[in-house]
Amino acid sequence: MIRRFIAERRSWILFFLFQLLILLFIAYLDPSISLSAMSYIVFLSLVLFIFFLFLRYQRETAFFKQLEERVNDLDLSSLTTSRSPFETIVEKSIIEQTEHLKQTASRNRVQMEQEKDEMLSWIHEVKTPLTALHLMIQRMEDDQLKARLTYEWLRIHLLLDQQLHQKRIPFIENDLYMEDTDIETLLFTELKTLQSWCIQKGIGFDFDLQVTHVLSDSKWLAFIIRQILTNAVKYSESSDIIIRSYLKADRTFLDITDHGRGIDSRDLSRIFDKGFTSTTVHHDQASTGMGLYLAKKAADSLHIKMSVNSKVNYRTTFTLAFPRKNEFVHIIGM
């Protein structure tokens, strides 16, 4: 701050020093003026000027120091009261901009809430004809056409579900309900939805559930598992998906392993990024790049550590590490 203060007042300081040098120069040229007396006056002036600079530094930088240390939010209570005309201009500008930002943020929040409510309402309305369509497809006698239509119906169903949860993600903290969740029941419910797709692709499942219950939010946990299973089925052909749960270091783990196309090593660190699909399979237009991103966001809110291990054209394993029992005090406290 001292350097910035000197830089701000540099022209004033140089002007004052220049005046002192002129006085010494005049005393040097004019024999009638005592050079020693003038030097003494210049010395006293310099000492007084340094003392004056010190006082002005304390006074002029106090306001800007607090501005620099102030948290960049919309709370004006921490704003220091101005003590000079220029500080008043700065203070007035900050207050006006903050009020403008508050009004803009309030309008945007109302608009977002309205758009979210409209979108949720639309999704729920679409689910009704979608359910009716599914019942009609199930009554069809042409098995080949039935399988193809069921697959397309499932894609629409999953995309709507993804959109529904995408709108709810920003408010997930208000939607959490921690309870004893049966992983086995949850898994079979999700697999029942994917059953026709799995049969079509010749995909089976191998279970090894040593732990069947965890403390979590069943709705959001189901969404996380749904995204992982959907990806596993999508990128696998005629192979088994292995699902196992186990206890390690007082922590429950859930592994979902498929033997599909795998994930390139350079993509592993980016698969949870919003909108990221793949750097190797650019023609894969069926992927939105949102499923794993939303699953990771939900997992973080549930304090579930979500990780992936993969080898191209061999295996991909998604692991959910549930929090220990003593960590639930913090989660339930939310």
DSSP-derived secondary structure for 37-87 = HHHHHHHHHHHHHHHHHHHHHHHHHHHHHHHHHS-SSS-GGGPPPP-SHHH
Is 70 exceeded by the pLDDT of residue 333? no
Nearest one of 238, 233, 130 to 191, comparing CA atoms: 233
- Asked whether residue 302 carries a pLDDT value surpassing 80, the answer given is yes
Terminal C-alpha separation, the chain? 41
| 334 has a pLDDT exceeding 60 | no
Alpha carbon distance 270, 49 (integer Å): 60
Question: What average pLDDT does the structure give for the chain?
Answer: 84
Separation between Cα atoms, residue 243 and residue 192, nearest integer Å: 15
For residues 295-321, give the mean pLDDT: 92
Q: What is the pTM of this model?
A: 0.67
Is the Cα dihedral 169, 171, 72, 94 positive or negative? positive
- Mean pLDDT for 180-186 is 92
In sign, the C-alpha dihedral spanning 190, 191, 192, 194 is positive
Percent of the chain surpassing pLDDT 70: 91
Confidence band, pLDDT 50/70/90 cuts, at residue 143: confident
CATH 3.30.565.10 fits domain 172-333: yes
Q: Is the pLDDT assigned to residue 223 strictly greater than 90?
A: yes
Domain residue limits, the chain: 2-98, 172-333
By the 10 Å C-beta count (0-12 exposed, 13-18 middle, 19+ buried), 230 is classed as buried
Sequence-distant (6+) residues with CB within 8 A of 175 are 168, 217, 219, 220
Is residue 145 scored above 50 in pLDDT?
yes
% of the chain residues with pLDDT over 90? 26
